[in-house]
């Protein structure tokens, strides 16, 4: 499985409101290479999630275009991309189906889209769970598991569909620091193994630098690309690099870029856009 090449070209999204239309995203251009782990960082309300939604097909765009491997996802004449298993989203809050076991959850897409029988899908799911060391919980229900394990299951569920792009919308938000760093390493392990294109949204700068191949800083609303920073740290990444000077430099670089935007957003009193 190889990741897809995702190209956003001057993407814009305007909302019509009671008053003047409000631009959430404007003139956003980005080229995410195949197999790249690209992180988008920005202050609250800058439109990161809107962008993700546009790529996933949940919302439409009002200008520009998005292409995946040279196929048009959405653009002129086709405002909304189809929702499909080539781009799978992992949300902030768990969307595992509480009434299905872990194995059935992971196999859900295989049954829904590829028409496998439930038994076959569960078998494949169990295999995948085994590979990442989660074989024991195959028959548990999500409600019985800790949030960290749930997140890993959810990411696995997405990857079982062999998507071209994996979209992660602040997936580790709200987790405590210890669980979070464990999740980072789990994600990197999966990433190194599956080589899928990842679009990762966060507002945690250290997380961005630790995980990303490249980091894009987004401006406040209307969101556009402020700058993109190459993270030239070797993979596989080790927790130890956090104190390394180059890591800290990169974090500083990203911080500076973000700080301006964050202050601007703060002054204007923007609130997080309600999803």
Partner 1 sequence: MSALSSETIPLTAPSSAGISPKPRRRRVLSPALPLALLGLGLFVGCWYLTVDVLALPRFRGIPGPTEVIREWVSPDPAYGTSIFTLSYYAHIWASVRRVAIAFTAALFTGIPLGLLLGWSSRFRQYAFPVFELIRPIPILAWVPLAMLMFHTREGSVIFLTYMAAFYAVTLNTLLGVHSIDQNLIRAARCLGAGPTTVLRTVVIPGSLPYIFTGLQIGMGVAWFSLVAGEMIAGQFGLGYLINASYTTTRYPTIVIAMITLGLVGFASSALIRFVGSRLMAYRARSIGS
Partner 2 sequence: MTAISSRPVLLRRTEKVETTAFRRGAIGIVIFAAVWEFATRLNGWVGIRVPLVAQLPPPSAVVVDFLKLAGSPGYWNSWSLSFQRVLAGFALALIIGGTVGLLMATRPWFKRMAFPVFECLRPIPPLAWVPIAIIFWPTQELSITFVTFLGALFPVVLNTVGGAEEIDRRHVLAAQSMGASRSYIFRRVVFPALLPSLVTGAAVGMGITWEVVVAAELISGGGRQSGDGGLGFLVWNAYEGNNLPRVVVAMISLGIAGYLSSGLVRALGNRLMPWRRVAS
Q: With binding defined as CB under 8 A, does residue 263 bind partner 2?
A: no
Site string for partner 2, 165-204 (x = CB under 8 A): ----------------------------------------
Q: At what angle do helices 177-194 and 147-160 cross, to 10 degrees?
A: 20
Instruction: Residue 26: name the closest of 222, 190, 171 by CA.
Output: 222
**Binding-site size, partner 1 (CB under 8 A):** 29
Query: What is d(CA 177, CA 1) in angstroms, rounded to the nearest whole number?
Result: 32
Instruction: Name the burial class of residue 30, with classes exposed (0-12), middle (13-18) and buried (19+) by CB atoms within 10 angstroms of its CB.
Output: buried
Nearer to partner 2, 14 or 206 (CB): 14
266 contacts which partner out of partner 1, partner 2, none, CB within 5 to 8 A by kind?
none
Nearer to partner 2, 24 or 156 (CB): 24
Q: With binding defined as CB under 8 A, does residue 22 bind partner 2?
A: yes
| Residue 62: HSE in the Cβ half-sphere, 13 Å Cα cutoff | 12
Site string for partner 1, 145-164 (x = CB under 8 A): x-----------xx--x---
Query: What is d(CA 216, CA 48) in angstroms, rounded to the nearest whole number?
Result: 11
Q: With binding defined as CB under 8 A, does residue 99 bind partner 1?
A: yes
Query: What is d(CA 275, CA 271) in angstroms, rounded to the nearest whole number?
Result: 12
What SS3 class is residue 260? helix
- Contact between 201 and 231 (Cβ < 8 Å): no
Nearer to partner 1, 99 or 266 (CB): 99
Q: With binding defined as CB under 8 A, does residue 60 bind partner 2?
A: no
Take residue 194 and report the two structure tokens written for it. Answer: 């599956």
Q: With binding defined as CB under 8 A, does residue 135 bind partner 1?
A: no
Nearer to partner 2, 16 or 115 (CB): 16
Q: With binding defined as CB under 8 A, does residue 268 bind partner 2?
A: yes
Give min distance, CB of 155 to partner 1, in A: 12
Residue ranges in contact with partner 2 by CB under 8 A:
15-20, 22-24, 26, 220-222, 268-271, 273-275
């Amino acid at each position: 499985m190889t990741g897809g090449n995702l190209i956003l070209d001057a993407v814009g999204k305007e909302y019509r409101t009671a008053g003047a239309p409000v631009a959430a995203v404007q003139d956003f251009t980005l080229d995410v290479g195949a197999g790249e782990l690209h992180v988008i960082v920005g202050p609250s309300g800058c439109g990161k999630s809107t962008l993700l939604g546009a790529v996933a097909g949940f919302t439409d765009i009002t200008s520009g275009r998005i292409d995946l491997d040279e196929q048009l996802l959405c653009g002129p004449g086709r405002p909304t991309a189809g929702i499909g298993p080539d781009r799978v989203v992992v949300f902030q809050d768990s969307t595992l189906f509480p009434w299905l076991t872990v194995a059935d959850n992971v196999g859900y897409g295989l049954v829904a889209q590829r028409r496998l029988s439930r038994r076959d899908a569960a078998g494949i799911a169990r295999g995948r769970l085994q590979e990442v060391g989660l074989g024991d919980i195959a028959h548990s229900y999500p409600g019985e598991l800790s949030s960290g394990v749930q997140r890993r299951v959810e990411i696995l569920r997405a990857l079982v569909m062999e998507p071209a792009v994996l979209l992660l919308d602040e997936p580790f938000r709200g987790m405590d620091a210890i669980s979070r760093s464990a999740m980072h390493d789990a994600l990197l392990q999966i990433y190194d193994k599956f080589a899928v294109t990842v679009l990762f949204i966060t507002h945690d700068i250290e997380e961005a630098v630790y995980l990303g191949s490249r980091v894009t800083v987004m401006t406040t609303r209307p969101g556009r690309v402020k700058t993109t920073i190459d993270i030239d740290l070797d993979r596989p990444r080790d927790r130890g690099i956090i104190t390394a000077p180059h890591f800290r430099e990169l974090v500083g670089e990203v911080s500076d870029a973000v700080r301006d935007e964050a202050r601007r957003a703060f002054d204007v009193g923007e609130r997080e856009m309600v999803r």
